Structure 1
């Protein structure tokens, strides 16, 4: 009996020590960075070196002592492309299969889900340099950053921007501290005569490098950007594809908060909805309307929620939508529709997309981040809220009547680099 008790105590002690050791390893785990890996080899072909680098980098995430927030089952290379032999740049397109449904894991590794089998795809450009024992990965960046860094038309002083980071026929970019627009997918650019920092202004940061989504319109017959100048909310606009520009003041008050600012143009109206004040988590908003895009007047606007707004958009005369920050799928979506120009609002709800992830069902998409109209349909990009950690994915919903929305697809909705 005494031997059995001693054996039980010994096994318990070993179990506790093992558990404590694993917990310690998990808590002290620090992933080796991509640029901290040296490939020890006599190989000189960069594509092969990139393959060896990949095996070495991903092996650390398969170890039994790797915490679930990093652990993967498998990893594979989909494609390796030599970009610059002389300077050692290689692009690696790869995919990984998570070990578990731990949501932090997707945040740590990034990537976009390829299909229902759970694999996530990712891309990286690496710069390898020769060392005494092989090659060292010295730099890592996204492919678009590599394009910006190495395109001679971008790097040569005095050249106009080229089509990098341009996703649509009508788009913008920021280069050399200037704002440019294009109407032909980047073949030609026109400078917007405005200090770009006034356009990218955000009261929460000292500077911005992207124009706030929803604060501008770029179309062949009308291009306009909202901007902030000494407490005033202004609009710079052009009706002739940038050949001439005019400015007008929407609202002037040196105490306005002006974090959120959204511009919409319908058949007969121009709408500007913007934040005027902030206190703790509360945020108040105002709505201005114009028939000519020059002279704006205040609207009897009834804010459905005085909280942080994520998007506002008017799809037709008097018909608009507002969305607010949301971090809980159990609550309503904090998404509203008006049919009387902002005087009254009706909450809009729809079934949230459930994702099957490693045997579990999760609902990551809970906050409307973008609203737009295309081909007569209303489109929503629904993100994960500020606490989301399901990679960089968002959900794309569409509606034919502007009221009932159905899920279309998952998308990677990271903003394209604008300069």
Structure 2
């Protein structure tokens, strides 16, 4: 069975069925991962997916039946965006939540600290658990579960210029309690993405590594002991593509076989900035081999 690192985003839609349109207002904003991943689709499009969320008068609501019925999440609007986050408040912080029929969870906070609020019965009842964050002012919060009981929360914050702290928290009881498993101590640059494949194997991307007189390259770290120790993973970009593909994404795995995509960053313009470099691994991501250029759907392209 194919597995991916749990990454707190909604389940990807297989395709379009019907596209309804709804004018977006501050009182009712509909959102889904399907549309967020495809920037060319307007934000006011009502998603085809059955699982959605909306803000209604700054109150978060979730639906599991394509908007026919909504459940209110018992959390204040301000707590959803607590910390150093300075992005849009018309949608939830990317990575800070997961919504599916088995588990719906949100990382929230206030001056007293972080909390995980979650439901395992499609929003009928909710529980809260304290999250002991070692970082005072949180920016990123990347939540995921690799099994019913095992989960992770990658935190960054306390930012100063282009530097910030990071911490990896884990749970082994379904999110009822959390402990700090470790941190990536080799760097304090800004983290861009991260996730775990299982309770043991995880990856964190710190975007682009820049050095004088050298082309920019991916800066990817790996753990094989649950987040206690991390080491950089070499991602050798072919000479003709060096400086083009610079940011590693979190890899996907099917058993020991991994697939890693490296994108061009926000300013990439090679072939319109829409293509990625693809790498594969046969050793749980300890080493990676370049296989070619692909589009966002993974389709191979001619050089």
Bigger CA radius of gyration:
1
Q: Which moved more, 1:176-185 or 1:390-399?
A: 390-399
By how many angstroms is 1:257 displaced? Answer: 1.9
Task: List alignment gaps of at least 5 residues for structure 1.
Answer: 1-143, 356-360, 413-419
Higher relative contact order (CA 8 A, sep 6+): 2
Cα contact 2:61–2:71 (8 A) shared by 1: yes
Matched, 1:260 2:140: yes
Q: Does 1:240 align with 2:121?
A: yes
Counterpart of 1:225 in structure 2 is: 106
RMSD of the TM alignment (CA)? 3.8
Q: CA deviation at 1:308?
A: 0.5
Structure 1 residues 248, 371: CA separation in 2 closer, same or farther (over 3 Å shift)?
same
SS at match of 2:295: strand
Q: CA deviation at 1:283?
A: 0.9
- 2:205 matches 1:323: yes
The whole-number CA distance in structure 1 between the counterparts of 2:100 and 2:269 is 35
Q: Is the 8 A contact 1:272 1:287 kept in 2?
A: yes
Q: Which residue of 1 aligns with 2:250?
A: 371
Question: Aligned-pair distance for 1:332?
Answer: 3.8
Offset, 1:239: 0.7
Question: Deviation of residue 242 (structure 1)?
Answer: 0.9
Q: Does 1:270 align with 2:144?
A: no
Evaluate the alpha carbon distance shift between residue 280 and residue 313 of structure 1 in structure 2; reply closer, same or farther with a 3 A threshold.
same
Give distance in 1, aligned partners of 2:30 and 2:88. Answer: 21
CA distance in structure 1 between the aligned counterparts of 2:152 and 2:280, rounded to whole angstroms: 22
Counterpart for residue 264 of structure 2: 384
Matched, 1:409 2:294: yes
Alpha-carbon spacing, 1:333–1:196, altered in 2? closer, same or farther (3 Å): same
SS in structure 2 opposite 1:237?
A: strand
Q: By how many angstroms is 1:336 displaced? A: 1.3
Counterpart for residue 345 of structure 1? 230
Shift of 1:407: 5.3
For residue 23 of structure 2, give the secondary structure of its aligned residue in structure 1.
helix
Once the two structures are TM-superposed, the CA of residue 227 in structure 1 deviates from its matched residue by 1.4
State the TM-score, normalized to the length of structure 1.
Answer: 0.51
Question: Equivalent residue of 1:330, what SS?
Answer: strand
Partner secondary structure for residue 299 of structure 1: strand
C-alpha distance in 1 between matches for 2:112 and 2:261: 31
Residues 32-67 of structure 1, C-alpha deviations (whole Å, 9 max, x = no match): xxxxxxxxxxxxxxxxxxxxxxxxxxxxxxxxxxxx
Kept after mapping to 2: 8 A contact 1:166/1:173: no
1:327–1:385 CA contact under 8 A, matched in 2: no
How many correspondences in the alignment?
256
The structural deviation recorded for 1:285 is: 1.0
SS at the partner of 1:365?
A: coil
